[in-house]
């Protein structure tokens, strides 16, 4: 999935879930079938994607690095 498709899919999901638009209206706007829009929304409500899992892992690693660097900075300024 490309970045453009991922961004488009997020926009579609947002239109339906956050703006309360009808699946059929969003499908027409994006030139898709109602079934495809339904599937995108349904998939967004299921278990996290592998991308989400990877991102959460990266966030955890970055938080740990920030914690480590903060401790080092504290020691240096004492």
The pLDDT tens digits along the chain (78 residues) read 566 788 999 999 999 999 999 999 999 999 999 999 999 999 888 867 777 888 889 999 999 999 999 999 999 998
DSSP states of the chain: --HHHHHHHHHHHHHHHTT---HHHHHHHHT--HHHHHHHHHHHTSSPPHHHHHHHHHHHHHHHHHHHHHHHHHHHH-
Looking at residue 47, its pLDDT comes to: 66
Looking at residue 53, its pLDDT comes to: 83
Q: List the CATH code of the domain at 1-46.
A: 1.10.10
Looking at residue 76, its pLDDT comes to: 94
Looking at residue 2, its pLDDT comes to: 63
Assessment of whether the complete model's pTM goes beyond 0.85: no
């Amino acid at each position: 999935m490309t970045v453009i498709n991922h961004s488009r899919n997020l926009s579609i999901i947002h239109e339906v879930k956050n703006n309360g638009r009808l699946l059929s209206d969003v499908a027409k706007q994006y030139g898709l079938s109602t079934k495809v829009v339904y599937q995108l929304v349904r998939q967004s409500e299921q278990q996290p994607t592998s991308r989400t899992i990877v991102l959460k892992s990266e966030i955890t690693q970055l938080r740990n690095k920030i914690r480590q660097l903060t401790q080092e900075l504290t020691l240096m300024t004492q």
